[in-house]
Amino acid sequence: GAVVSQHPSWVICKSGTSVKIECRSLDFQATTMFWYRQFPKQSLMLMATSNEGSKATYEQGVEKDKFLINHASLTLSTLTVTSAHPEDSSFYICSAPRTSFPETQYFGPGTRLLVL
Amino acid sequence: AQTVTQSQPEMSVQEAETVTLSCTYDTSESDYYLFWYKQPPSRQMILVIRQEAYKQQNATENRFSVNFQKAAKSFSLKISDSQLGDAAMYFCASWGTYKYIFGTGTRLKVLA
């Protein structure tokens, strides 16, 4: 069964609105979670590392004010795409490390965002 | 900086045959891990196999095995007895400095 869930799985929004995507670890705690973006037929690009109780670490080129990350608890991280525009349309994936093997991650099923 | 390169955008294999997907990487880390992930049309990332860089022995998982050549920084995936369900995107990835770097992927088609 899935050990990392994402909600929603699919979202359509109007340009200029904000969209929140949740990533939850099920039955285990994750002090760190990772957010990726995947364009069609492309690879996963790490956007940021979400840290419980502290600020997220963003990769170079990712706008912090555009992609707000909040690691509210040991089982929940959220990614908010603020003032979304059509170019933000993408597939967003989160992952959380296995407790004993942080280098091996559980991936969420992904969220498809379409901005009109 | 870490890089992962997959030079085969697409591969095809006949059902029941064997196919090898290529991956090269570069890292300055002395302690790192290498992975192959499968992404089927559902887009759920599925771990296929992992290799600790400090282990010389090649990892195997049932029909999946790797050829890890540390000096050459090569990490290829061999799929034996290919099945229709193996059709997917395959991503090679390295883990170091506490994050993944993914290759660009290889689309595997399995022909009946």
- Residues in B closer than 8 angstroms to A91, CB to CB, are 43
The position carrying tokens 């603020």 is A82
The structure tokens listed for B75 are 């990490």
User: Given CB atoms, is B9 within the 8 Å cutoff of chain A?
Assistant: no
The position carrying tokens 């790797």 is B66
The stretch B7-35 carries a mean pLDDT of: 95
In this structure, are residues A77 and A4 in contact, taking their beta carbons and an 8 Å threshold? no
Which of B95, B101, B105 is nearest residue A103 as measured by Cβ atoms? B95
Share of chain A above pLDDT 70, in %: 95
d(CA A67, CA A84) in angstroms, rounded, equals 10
Res B31: pLDDT: 86
User: Given CB atoms, is B8 within the 8 Å cutoff of chain A?
Assistant: no
- Residues in A closer than 8 angstroms to B98, CB to CB, are 49, 102
Report how far apart, in Å, the C-alpha atoms of A31 and of each of A75, B1, B30, B59 are: 8, 25, 25, 29
Res A2: pLDDT: 57
Res A69: pLDDT: 95
A positions 88-107 inside 8 Å of B (CB): 91, 93, 95, 102-105, 107
Residue A95 has pLDDT above 70, yes or no: yes
Q: How confident is the model at residue A1 (pLDDT cuts 50, 70, 90)?
A: low
The stretch A73-97 carries a mean pLDDT of: 95
The structure tokens listed for A99 are 């407790």
User: Given CB atoms, is B47 within the 8 Å cutoff of chain A?
Assistant: yes
Residue A101 has pLDDT above 80, yes or no: no
Residue among A23, A44, A51, A58 with most chain B CBs within 10 A, to mutate: A44
Burial of A76 per CB tally in 10 Å (0-12, 13-18, 19+): middle
In this structure, are residues B109 and B14 in contact, taking their beta carbons and an 8 Å threshold? no
Residue B99 has pLDDT above 90, yes or no: no
Q: What is the pLDDT of residues A5-34, one digit of tens each?
A: 999 999 999 999 999 999 999 988 888 999
d(CA A13, CA B51) in angstroms, rounded, equals 41
- Gap from A115 CA to chain B (nearest CA, Å): 20
Buried b (16+ CB within 10 A) or exposed e, A2-41: eebebeeeebebeeeeebebbbbbeeeebbbbbbbbbeee
Q: What is the pLDDT of residues B34-52, one digit of tens each?
A: 999 999 999 999 999 999 9
Share of chain A above pLDDT 90, in %: 78
d(CA A104, CA B94) in angstroms, rounded, equals 10
Do the Cβ atoms of B102 and A43 come within 8 Å?
A: yes
- Gap from A102 CA to chain B (nearest CA, Å): 8
